[in-house]
Amino acid sequence: ELGMGSGAWVIGVSKGTELVAAVPLYHIEEEPNDAYHIQEVLGFSRPATHPLLVGNHRGYESGVVYNPDYPEALPLLIDAIRIETERVGTDVAWWPYLTEAAVILLHPHCPGLLGLLDISADYLLPAGDFSAFLLGLTRAQRGKIRRDRRLFEDSGLMVYRGVPEPFLPDIAHLVAEVESHHNNLMDPASLLPWLEAQLLVIGDQALAVVSRNHDNPVACALLYRSENQVVVRMAGLDYQRTGTAGEYFETTLYQGIEWALDQGIRQLSLGTGTLQAKSYRGARLSPRWALQVAGTPLVDHIGNNTRLDKICKRERVPSSSVESVLVNVG
């Protein structure tokens, strides 16, 4: 559970013996990640009790796992979340970091507040190879990518791609570096069983990418295929050894693009943060939302346009570059 405090569990809806909808729930007494203090991120005061969190807890993208042949499962799933909210004795449940497609499915069943949490980046990829991808970008974007790749090639660093298991110690070390950089101190050894448990589920859908300076790992990414996209599940960096050779971009973006193209997959999801750098390299920007699933609906005196402007100012990207149909909702 890795610091998840009092509990994490899964609820589901079944029809006969078939599971048709499911979602994980988390009730965290001491949440170490400020990005999961949802009400504070949205600009509200801290809730009186620890919120129930719905959906993903690691990473900043969440969606709905359900069988679309049974749309009636969604309101039943929402009802089950509300029951669990009451059972654990908290006064609010949040489903954070939802994609817009997920919000469109869920919002009719959840009349609570819909708030803009952050902005995520992804690539929509063409058929073909990396050269075909470059042709779809602007001249400035192509120039940045070619410069990054030349810097990496000239650095003498070596990049390794393969099944994740042999690289798990390197990944744990570098991810722990990133967590520590964000004030979440973590022992790499404690990450190993968590990574191993994920790989039991992901199986052959995962790829590890590690860049090395001789025997020293300096950057890594763990990627996995999910339906029609490749997702950057996590990235790690050695901050003392990186920064001059485009290590992050080569390891996470460009190797991810190449793997997705090799698989015939048309989308690479990069997640939140470093949006200006990703946008300069051709990534698309779109919102991630928090949906209040249970509790007395909050009255929003801030508004999502204001939140959008604040995030874009922080990330140094124009608000007009964010693709959204929902910013004025909520």
Per residue in 248-284, pLDDT (tens digit) is: 999 999 999 999 999 999 999 999 999 999 999 999 9
Per-residue confidence (pLDDT) for residue 328, from 0 to 100: 66
Q: Do 291 and 114 touch, CB atoms closer than 8 A?
A: yes
User: How many CB atoms within 10 Å of residue 246?
Assistant: 25
Q: Rounded CA gap, 99 and 269, in Å?
A: 11
pLDDT at 329: 54
Distance separating the N- and C-terminal Cα atoms of the chain: 33
Q: Provide the whole-model pTM.
A: 0.89
Percent of the residues in the chain that have a pLDDT greater than 70, as a whole number = 97
Higher pLDDT, 110 or 315: 315
Cβ–Cβ < 8 Å for 91, 292: no
Q: Is 54 helix (H, G, I), strand (E, B) or coil?
A: strand
Q: Which amino acid is at 63?
A: G
